[in-house]
Amino acid sequence: MEKILVLDFGGQYNLLIARRVRELGVFAEIKPYNKISPAEIKAENYKGVIFTGGPNSVYEEQSPHYSPEILNIGIPLLGICYGHQLIAYMAGGEIISAESISEYGKTDVKVSSCRLFENVPEISVCWMSHTDFVSRLPDGFEATAFTENCPCAAMSDEKRNIYGVQFHPEVTHTEYGKTVLYNFLFGICGCKGDWKMDDFIEKTVAEYREKLKGKRVLCALSGGVDSSVAAVLMHRAVGDDLVCVFVDHGLLRKNEGDDVERIFRGKFNMKLIRVNAESRFLAKLEGVTEPEKKRRIIGEEFIRVFEEESRSLGKVDYLVQGTIYPDVVESGRGDASTIKSHHNVGGLPSVIDFEGIAEPLRELFKDEVRAVGLKLGIPEYLVMRQPFPGPGLAVRIIGEITKDKADTLREADAIFREELEKAKVVSSQYFAVLTDTRSVGVMGDARTYGHTVALRAVTTDDFMTADWTRVPFDVLEAASRRITNEVKSINRVVYDITSKPPATVEWE
């Protein structure tokens, strides 16, 4: 299979570059710049290398540099932003830092004829984010794009197939970004576009069928997209040697537990153990109000239940994990401060004695996981499902958790989701939160003193930042009317209009 290397210099759009390349049908891998040498790149037969952006200036002492040997190994290169400057620097050019040149955001760029800009109009809008720029081109290069401020918005050495762009072709704000990447991959690197989901399924199933022959395999199924797709894929590979354990902690959404059982046991005929552990989790959570403590208790209890179940199964050889590519790439990087300790049900129980871990999705992005799920025949509503936190409704019930509160929230949440879906409102994640506020209301002629439920809907690409969704008033009204009519004990409904930051998506 042909592949492209995305050499990571620390830029914020690195995952996006790899995703765009894959969207165009070419497999892309991300590797940190200091983990692979030009000789290794050559030995791995990459069709091309993309140098990513990064926050540094090339002349700073601690800036990431790379061996100039890369310029002469005969593999096409494309530098983006810092990557573009770094290539210019390595090839003997000069870079200047100048506030007067700095460009940020949408910028008109004029291109001249160059293989990289085939089918790109002479002037188009590109996304810029830089202060440094290439002030003197290296020998053998010519400038192929300009902006009002920047005399070298792109450069090329067509003889050696080395290119650089100051703008970001991977972001959608760059009108012809996809064309630029297409030209690099297909016109310059000579790719054919052989990255297809069907091939991935076939290859993965064959690989694990061989590797796990005669082994007992265990999977913690949460009902989320990643663990569901991983489980069905592994089931294709090893059939009944796979056992799935689904721990129902009693904090799932309405009907979710039954759905999981129906689909995996009913439709796919998989060996599934459903552990109904609601009372066990609720007992542990009694009196606990602190969000991080709730997460910790659920995470630990989950592992305990899972361990007990797997012990009762006897020896297990392999454990299936729904790890996906962003988890692999992001882990190991220096992390920012912990805002919330995200616990994903399916975390690694350290006490179970097993030979190895099977991570069949570790090369895939979320949208690819979804595509695989659909191809495997998992119902669309499950595959396209919005994210749901591992600790479930526990982080959506403010204050102490009780069964009554969980049941109340489940009903309100189901109604809100139903109304949004009926009205076809586009939103990345939407749910209800049971606040710990009670307030006075009037129903019939009587005073009520009920719970306040908050509705939350957000629109986002990556969940790092999010905007509140502009849900039409009549949809909010329908949800509010139904919730107060149909859910006993709720007499007030509010809509959350804070973005992230300063708020977070979940309330806890």
Residues 300, 301, 304: CA angle, nearest 5 degrees: 90
Work out whether 398 is an interface residue with ligand XMP (CB under 6 A): no
| 464 contact partners, CB below 8 Å, separation of at least 6 | none
C-alpha 300/C-alpha 307 separation (Å) is 11
Near ligand XMP in 474-503, by CB under 6 A: 500
CA distances from 6 to 20, 26, 179, 421, 458 (A): 11, 12, 18, 38, 31
8 A C-beta contact, residue 294 and residue 405:
no
User: Could you tell me the smallest distance in angstroms from the CB atom of residue 337 to ligand XMP?
Assistant: 13
User: Could you tell me the smallest distance in angstroms from the CB atom of residue 119 to ligand XMP?
Assistant: 38
Work out whether 389 is an interface residue with ligand XMP (CB under 6 A): yes
Binding residue for ligand XMP (CB under 6 A) from 59, 104, 449, 463?
A: 463
Interhelix angle 366-375/225-238, nearest 10 degrees: 50
Alpha-carbon dihedral sign for residues 90, 94, 98, 104: negative
| 178 contact partners, CB below 8 Å, separation of at least 6 | 20, 24, 169
> Which amino acid would we find at residue 418?
E
Return the range that interacts with ligand XMP (CB under 6 A); candidates 55-63, 253-261, 265-273, 337-345: 337-345
User: Could you tell me the smallest distance in angstroms from the CB atom of residue 453 to ligand XMP?
Assistant: 17
Please tell me the count of residues contacting ligand XMP according to CB under 6 A: 16
User: Could you tell me the smallest distance in angstroms from the CB atom of residue 325 to ligand XMP?
Assistant: 17
Work out whether 256 is an interface residue with ligand XMP (CB under 6 A): no
User: Could you tell me the smallest distance in angstroms from the CB atom of residue 221 to ligand XMP?
Assistant: 14
Pairing status of strand 242-248 against strand 103-111:
unpaired
Work out whether 31 is an interface residue with ligand XMP (CB under 6 A): no
Work out whether 504 is an interface residue with ligand XMP (CB under 6 A): yes
Nearest to ligand XMP of 156, 427 (CB atom):
427
User: Could you tell me the smallest distance in angstroms from the CB atom of residue 226 to ligand XMP?
Assistant: 10
User: Could you tell me the smallest distance in angstroms from the CB atom of residue 187 to ligand XMP?
Assistant: 38
Binding residue for ligand XMP (CB under 6 A) from 140, 387, 399, 441?
A: 387
Interhelix angle 197-211/366-375, nearest 10 degrees: 80
Active site residue 150: no
Q: Helix, strand or coil for residue 427?
A: coil
Return the range that interacts with ligand XMP (CB under 6 A); candidates 17-25, 84-92, 390-398, 487-495: 390-398
Work out whether 102 is an interface residue with ligand XMP (CB under 6 A): no
Work out whether 38 is an interface residue with ligand XMP (CB under 6 A): no
C-alpha 508/C-alpha 448 separation (Å) is 27
User: Could you tell me the smallest distance in angstroms from the CB atom of residue 123 to ligand XMP?
Assistant: 39
Active site residue 122: no
Q: Helix, strand or coil for residue 43?
A: helix
Nearest to ligand XMP of 237, 369 (CB atom):
369
| 212 contact partners, CB below 8 Å, separation of at least 6 | 237, 238, 241, 317, 318, 358
CA dihedral 22, 27, 31, 35 (to 10 degrees): -170
Nearest to ligand XMP of 39, 384 (CB atom):
384
Nearest to ligand XMP of 14, 344 (CB atom):
344
8 A C-beta contact, residue 451 and residue 490:
yes
Work out whether 340 is an interface residue with ligand XMP (CB under 6 A): yes
Work out whether 295 is an interface residue with ligand XMP (CB under 6 A): yes
C-alpha 358/C-alpha 322 separation (Å) is 9
Instruction: Map residues 145-164 to x or -, x wherever contact with ligand XMP holds by CB under 6 A.
Output: --------------------
Among 339, 341, 249, 337, which Cα is nearest to 295's?
341
Among 281, 354, 280, 297, which Cα is nearest to 321's?
354
Binding residue for ligand XMP (CB under 6 A) from 220, 391, 476, 493?
A: 391
8 A C-beta contact, residue 276 and residue 249:
no
Work out whether 393 is an interface residue with ligand XMP (CB under 6 A): no
The residue from 81, 150, 152, 191 that is catalytic is 81
Binding residue for ligand XMP (CB under 6 A) from 85, 429, 480, 484?
A: 429
> Which amino acid would we find at residue 196?
K
Work out whether 343 is an interface residue with ligand XMP (CB under 6 A): yes
Work out whether 433 is an interface residue with ligand XMP (CB under 6 A): no
Work out whether 342 is an interface residue with ligand XMP (CB under 6 A): yes
Active site residue 170: yes
8 A C-beta contact, residue 454 and residue 437:
no
User: Could you tell me the smallest distance in angstroms from the CB atom of residue 333 to ligand XMP?
Assistant: 18
User: Left (φ > 0), alpha (ψ -120 to 50) or beta: where does 463 sit?
Assistant: left
The residue from 84, 168, 235, 249 that is catalytic is 168
> Which amino acid would we find at residue 342?
H
Residues annotated catalytic, as ranges? 81, 168, 170
Q: Using CB under 6 A as the criterion, which residues of the chain lie in contact with ligand XMP when the complex forms?
A: 295, 340, 342-344, 387, 389-391, 395, 429, 463, 500, 504-506
